[in-house]
Amino acid sequence: MGASHPAPAWTPVCGVEDIPRAGARVVKRGGADDIAVFRASDDHVFALLDRCPHKGGPLSAGLVHGHAVTCPLHGWVIGLDDGRAQAPDEGCSQRIAARVEDGTVYLDLAGHGHGCSQGQGRRPTPKLRTAQPAADDSP
Ligand code: FES
């Protein structure tokens, strides 16, 4: 039996109907980061650490649209299925495996998140361009 990956610990956290459609609910864990559980308008359920990769804003308070959430603090858009910030921003929030069974949402609380490490977010500095005079020799 491999020891590198712990067996999933599917933990019931709430009913799907307890999460507003196109909204989120927070699952608190003692001594660990809160988890934001999202319900998209098509009823898909996703879970991310409730920390924006930019400056730690509460993603659970963001605006859910499609399979993404816009952070309430500075407007970064984070994909719900992979936790990644959409370009031009860079970084990601850890994804927690989630599944729904008989209307109950289960999270894999044994996992350590998937896809990225926290706190890596940055917005690339725009490249400055020097204004060039128009090369127009026409009269
Ligand atoms: S903390 Fe989320 S966009 Fe800045």
- What is the CATH number for 44? 2.102.10.10
Predicted local distance difference test score (pLDDT) of residue 65: 98
Residue 104: strand, helix, or coil: strand
Beta bridge partners of 11: 107
Tokens 């020799």 correspond to: 137
Q: Is residue 27 part of a domain?
A: yes
d(CA 24, CA 73): 16
Ligand 1 is surrounded, with C-beta below 6 A, by 52, 54-57, 71, 73-76
Q: Is residue 45 part of a domain?
A: yes
pLDDT tens, the chain, 139 aa long: 445 667 888 999 999 999 999 999 999 988 888 999 999 999 999 999 999 999 999 999 999 999 999 999 999 999 999 999 999 999 999 999 999 999 999 999 887 666 665 555 777 766 666 666 655 555 5
Closest-CA residue, ligand 1 atom 3, reads: 74
Beta bridge partners of 96: 47
d(CA 23, CA 37): 9
Global pTM reads 0.82
Predicted local distance difference test score (pLDDT) of residue 4: 60
Token pair belonging to 81? 């299925």
CA of 59 to the centre of ligand 1 (A): 9
Q: How many domains is the chain partitioned into structurally?
A: 1
Q: Is residue 3 part of a domain?
A: no
Predicted local distance difference test score (pLDDT) of residue 29: 87
Predicted local distance difference test score (pLDDT) of residue 45: 98
CA of 75 to the centre of ligand 1 (A): 6
Q: Which domain holds residue 19?
A: 10-108
Q: Is residue 129 part of a domain?
A: no
Predicted local distance difference test score (pLDDT) of residue 104: 97
Q: Is residue 21 part of a domain?
A: yes
Q: Which of 55, 59, 77 to mutate to test the pocket of ligand 1 (most atoms within 8 A of CB)?
A: 55
CA of 20 to the centre of ligand 1 (A): 22
